[in-house]
Amino acid sequence: MDPSRQGSWCHSLERLDEITAANVGRLRPTWTFSTGVLGGHEGQPLVVDGTMYVVTPYPNVLYAFDPSKEDYPLRFKYRPDVNPASVGVACCDAVNRGAVFADGKIVYNLLDGRTVAVDAKTGRELWKTKVADLASGETITMAPLVVGDRVLVGPSGGEYGIHGWFKALDLATGKVVWTARNMGPDSEVLAKPDTFKPYYDKGTNLALDSWSGDSWQRGGAPVWGWLSYDP
């Protein structure tokens, strides 16, 4: 793929186990699609049940393609109404780091601080929940993580001195189930002695006492990247 063509995707129908060190040099683009967005594309395509989903940077459009047919025809396009002010608040490009599939839904974050769930077959919006506060310098660029029936999300905005947090939403309804701060007393961090076993320091309120004065209230601690989960 020509790297100068921003906003294009390349996809091959080769099975991964058919690609070897001997033939990888013969791979060639078979299809490209221009999103029309010039910002950084950091979210990988997601292929589920014969449909390929692509989420763009702001304005966070979701495209669903049929890769089984020539030219990958569009199955649906979902374009949310994203607050344009979020582009001015985002510190480091208006990127989106991808979507996740769970329980028949495509779930992803919008730059203006909302998490949305879309029906994976029809593109119908199922729920949309505000989780971040633009006025406080919070945006969302991260890819959500679904664990069981919970959607886990966090904000960008550490450069603006936000009070970082981590939220769990109900996958079925989008309702915020709990919020854990990333700095502050154990009651806000949701650190419990019976489950929180820090490897180095011991004691209570470690996320409070390690900060000088009240600086923990504006220390940043965003959650802007990808997440992993260990049960």
pTM of the model: 0.89
Q: What pLDDT band is residue 4 in, cutting at 50, 70 and 90?
A: very low
- Assess contact for 25 and 52: CB atoms under 8 A: no
User: CA of 185: how far to CAs of 93, 128, 188, in Å?
Assistant: 32, 30, 6
Residue 141's nearest CA partner among 171, 108, 105 is 108
- pLDDT confidence bin for 195, thresholds 50/70/90: confident
Model confidence band, residue 231 (pLDDT cutoffs 50, 70, 90): confident
Q: What is the pLDDT of residues 68-121, one digit of tens each?
A: 999 999 999 999 999 999 999 999 899 999 999 999 999 999 999 999 999 999
The rounded distance, in Å, linking the Cα atoms of 205 and 188 is: 10
Three-state DSSP state, 203: coil
Model confidence pLDDT, tens digit, residues 39-55: 899 999 999 999 999 99
The pLDDT of residue 202: 87
Domains of the chain and any CATH numbers: 41-218 (2.40.128.630)
pLDDT at residue 15 tops 80:
no
